[in-house]
């Protein structure tokens, strides 16, 4: 089984499908939308891979983090949720957004994901409530995260209004470090977009 791939992206489809060149071999990998921007650094992409084997297919699903892959595997363990549906969920919601929706029983939010009806949303809440990591409000040792500054909130809001997922926006703003609150917002927004947009 393939568990990890590191190489150069030679094809990038709008659906999130990537072809990754690893030592001259091109691996076709289905990924949640936006994965390349989070997984690529210095021209190389590193993906955590789930290998899905069926009688008639050998499919690879790639993720920017081990946490995303773990959530994907929990999703496909839910009855009537296949890999494509799970990929759609992680394209629409970050792992921490999904965790919050499940934890609070927010069926309405889950049904806004394409392909997820009310029954499937209720099943996700039922099956995953005690399994998903609590990524939304606390860090790994259970300490509450500090509230973002006004500038950080403005930047995150601007990025989500441009179509980026809340988790992506938060990571991009966090990567700007202590410049947030000091540098002009316009400059910070350009830098955040550069981090989110593949070269």
* 145: in domain: no
Q: Which of 63, 78, 107 is the last residue before a domain boundary?
A: 63
In this structure, are 70 and 58 located in the same domain? no
Tokens found for residue 57 = 């297919």
Tell me the residue range of the domain where 156 lies. Answer: 150-196
Half-sphere exposure of 186 (CA within 13 A, CB side): 0
Residues 72 and 32 in one domain: no
Helices and strands (H and E) in the chain: how many: 9, 6
- Specify whether 91 is located in the same domain as 59: no
138 within domain boundaries: no
pLDDT at res. 198: 59
Going from the C-alpha of 50 to that of each of 17, 36, 124, 133, 149, the distances in angstroms are 14, 16, 20, 19, 37
Looking at residue 144, what is its pLDDT?
Answer: 42
Residue 141 forms part of a structural domain: no
Q: How many domains is the chain partitioned into structurally?
A: 3
CATH number of residue 192's parent domain: 1.10.8
81 CB-contact burial (10 Å; exposed 0-12 / middle 13-18 / buried 19+):
buried
- Positions of the chain with pLDDT lower than 50, given as ranges: 135-147, 199
Does 143 map to a domain?
no
Q: Determine, yes or no, domain membership for 171.
A: yes
Residues 117 and 81 placed together within one structural domain of the fold: yes
CA distance 193 to 21: 26
Is residue 134 included in any domain, yes or no? no
Per-residue pLDDT at 186: 84
Is 33 inside a domain boundary? yes
Find tokens 């009855």 and name the residue: 79
Domain membership of residue 140 (yes or no) is: no
Q: CATH number, domain at 80? A: 1.10.150.20
What CATH number does the domain containing 39 carry?
2.40.50.140
Are 73 and 124 in a shared domain?
A: yes
Q: Helix, strand, or coil here: 28?
A: strand
Are 73 and 56 part of one and the same domain? no
pLDDT of residue 159: 81
Model's pTM, two decimal places? 0.65
Whether residue 74 sits in one domain with residue 53: no
Predicted confidence at residue 183, as pLDDT, reads 81
């Amino acid at each position: 089984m393939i568990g990890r791939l590191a190489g150069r992206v030679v094809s990038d489809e709008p659906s999130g499908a990537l072809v990754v060149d690893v030592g001259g071999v091109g691996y076709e990998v289905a990924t949640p939308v936006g994965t390349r921007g989070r997984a690529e650094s210095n021209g190389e992409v590193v993906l955590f891979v789930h290998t899905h084997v069926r009688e008639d297919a050998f499919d690879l699903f790639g993720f920017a983090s081990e946490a995303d892959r773990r959530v994907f595997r929990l999703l496909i363990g839910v009855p009537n949720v296949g890999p494509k549906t799970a990929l759609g969920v992680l394209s629409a919601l970050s792992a921490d957004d999904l965790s919050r929706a499940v934890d609070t029983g927010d069926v309405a939010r889950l049904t806004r994901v394409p392909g997820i009806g009310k029954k499937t949303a209720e099943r996700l809440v039922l099956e995953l409530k005690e399994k998903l990591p609590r990524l939304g409000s606390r860090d790994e040792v259970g300490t509450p995260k500090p509230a973002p500054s006004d500038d950080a909130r403005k930047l995150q809001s601007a990025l989500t209004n441009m179509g980026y997922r809340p988790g992506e926006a938060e990571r991009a703003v966090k990567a700007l470090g202590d410049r947030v609150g000091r540098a002009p917002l316009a400059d910070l927004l350009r830098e955040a977009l550069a981090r989110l947009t593949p070269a």
